[in-house]
Amino acid sequence: MLERRPALGLKLVRGVAPVRAGGLRVQYLGVKAVFVLGLALGAVGVTVDTASAQLSLVPPPKRAKAAPAAAAAPQPVVIPREFAPAQEVYAAFPAEPAATAAPAAPSACQLRLAKIAVFQPVPMLVGAGECGASDAVHLDAVILPDQSKVTVTPAGILRCPMAQELARWVREDVAPSAVKLGSPLRMLDNFDSYSCRGRNRVRGALLSEHGRANAIDVRLFKLADGRALSLTDVNVDKGWREAIKASVCARFATVLGPGSDGNHEEHIHLDLAEHRNGYKLCEWDVREPHPPPAATQVAATPQATEEAAAPADTGEVSEEAAAPLDVVPLPRPRPKLAEGGAARQRKSDRN
C-alpha cells in the first residue's frame, strides 16, 4: 500500500524501494534478493538433474525370482451314487510307500512265509466298495525244500494267508508230483491274482475273492526240461491232473475248473473264501481226450471187391429200367406206416 507525501514523493510502506524526487536512482532491494534466490534455486536444480542422470545410469538391482507355488492338490469330484460307475472300474493297486514312513513290522504270517517263499510286503490295499486287503504280499517265488525256486509269473498280489497256503501246496504237492514225471518244477503261471472286480468279470455282480486278494487263477506249470503241464489240457497225463485236483480240493475252500460254470475252461480258480459251516466247493472235471472215430470199414479183399461191384441178381426188373425213355417216371410211393404209426395217424386225424 502506497502513501503519498508532497515533498518526498512515493514511499514504500515496507521500505523496499524508496523513490526520491528529482533523481532516477532506485534501489530495488527486493529484486536483488529475488535474483540471488533464483541463482541458488538454479544451482540446486542442476545438482538434482546431475544426480538423477547418474542414478539413471546405474542398473536397477535384480529381483530374486519367487519360488513357484506348490501345485494345489486336486479336490475330489463328488459323483451322485446313482451315476457312479461300478466298483470294478476303480481297480486299486498298492500305493507307493512314503519315503519318510517307517517300515511296518512283519506280521506273524509274513515271518512264517519268509521261510518258504520270496516276497515283498505290500501296504494296505484300498479300493472302491469292498475291494482291498490288509497284510498283503507281492509273491515272487516259492522256495522248495532243496532251496531251488519256483517263480510265480507274473508275481501275484495276495493276502499273506493265501500266499502261504499256495506256497505250501507247491512245495508239498505239486513239486513232488513233477519229479515223478522226470523233471523238477520251475515255474507257476499266474493268470490272475488281486483284481478289483465282480465275479466272472460281470459288472454289478457280487465282489470276487480276487477283489480281496484272496484268490489266484493258475493255468499251467513249467518243468526244468521245458515241458508245460496245463491243468486243463486233456493231453496231459490224466493221473497227474487227478492228483493235483485232489490236493487243491483238500487245501482250498473254492476250486473251479472245466465243467464248473463255463468261465474256467482254461484255468483253475483257487481261493480261501469263508463258506458257511466250513463248506468247500470243488468243481473240476478232469477230462479225457476224445476217442478216435470207430473203424467201420471192412478190409478190402479181391472177393469183397467183386461182390460189391457185381449187381445183386434178384430176378426182378427195376421200374427205372422198364420205363420208356420218353415217359417221366412218377415219384416212389410212400412207405407203409407201422402199426404204432398208423394208430398215431388215426389219433391225429381225430384231433
Claim to verify: residue 48 and residue 140 sit in the same structural domain: no
- Across the chain, how many H-helices and E-strands are there? 8, 13
Claim to verify: residue 118 and residue 267 sit in the same structural domain: yes
Residue 344 covered by a domain: no
Give the range with max mean pLDDT: 171-175, 197-201, 294-298, 346-350. 171-175
pLDDT in tens, 203-228: 767 888 998 999 999 999 999 999 99
Q: Label residue 289 by pLDDT band (50, 70, 90).
A: confident
- Cα–Cα distances in angstroms (integers) from residue 250 to residues 96, 207, 221, 244, in the given order: 37, 24, 19, 10
Range 43-72 average pLDDT: 54
- Cα–Cα distances in angstroms (integers) from residue 116 to residues 12, 123, 149, 164, 216, in the given order: 123, 21, 10, 8, 18
Residue 253 covered by a domain: yes
Pairing of strands 281-283, 2-5: unpaired
CB 231 within 8 A of CB 174: no
Task: Give the lowest-confidence range in 170-184, 289-303, 321-335.
Answer: 289-303
Count of structural domains within the chain: 2
d(CA 163, CA 153): 14
Claim to verify: residue 120 and residue 224 sit in the same structural domain: yes
What is the radius of gyration, based on Cα positions, of the chain? 53
d(CA 7, CA 21): 7
More confident residue, 127 or 151: 151
Residue 81 covered by a domain: no
DSSP 207: B
Residue 50 covered by a domain: yes
Range 102-124 average pLDDT: 91
pLDDT in tens, 72-111: 666 655 555 455 455 544 445 555 555 555 667 899 999 9
Nearest-10 crossing angle of helices 160-169, 238-251:
150
Report pLDDT for 181: 93
Q: Label residue 12 by pLDDT band (50, 70, 90).
A: very low
Q: Is the pLDDT of residue 10 over 70?
A: no
Residue 76 covered by a domain: no
CB 131 within 8 A of CB 92: yes
Evaluate if pTM is beyond 0.75. Answer: no
Claim to verify: residue 183 and residue 118 sit in the same structural domain: yes
Residue 348 covered by a domain: no
Residue 269 covered by a domain: yes
More confident residue, 251 or 93: 251
Strand ranges, E, within the chain: 2-5, 9-12, 117-122, 125-126, 132-133, 136-143, 149-159, 185-192, 215-223, 228-230, 254-256, 268-271, 281-283
Report pLDDT for 50: 56
Q: Is the pLDDT of residue 183 over 70?
A: yes
Claim to verify: residue 137 and residue 257 sit in the same structural domain: yes
Q: Label residue 2 by pLDDT band (50, 70, 90).
A: very low
Claim to verify: residue 149 and residue 93 sit in the same structural domain: yes
CB 140 within 8 A of CB 152: yes
- Which of 255, 283, 311 is the last residue in one of the domains? 283
pLDDT > 90: what percent of the chain?
41
Report pLDDT for 261: 84
CB 216 within 8 A of CB 192: yes
Residue 88's contacts (CB-CB under 8 Å, 6 or more residues apart) are: 128, 195, 196, 197, 198, 201, 203, 211
Closest CA to 255 of 166, 152, 161: 166
d(CA 155, CA 127): 20
Q: Is the pLDDT of residue 27 over 70?
A: no
Q: Which residues span the domain enclosing 216? A: 87-98+105-283
Claim to verify: residue 94 and residue 230 sit in the same structural domain: yes
- In 3-state terms, what secondary structure has residue 141? strand
DSSP 174: I
Residue 80 covered by a domain: no
* Residue 12, beta-bridge partner list: 2
Q: For residue 154, is the peptide bond before it cis, meaning its omega torsion is within 30 degrees of 0?
A: yes
- By 3-state DSSP, what share of the chain in percent is helix, strand and coil, each rounded to 5? 30, 20, 50
Q: Which residues of 166-194 are buried (b: 16+ CB within 10 A; e: fewer)?
A: bbbbbbebbbebbeeeeebbbbbbbebbb
Task: Give, in degrees to the nearest 5, the angle at Cα 328 between 325 and 334.
Answer: 125
Report pLDDT for 219: 95
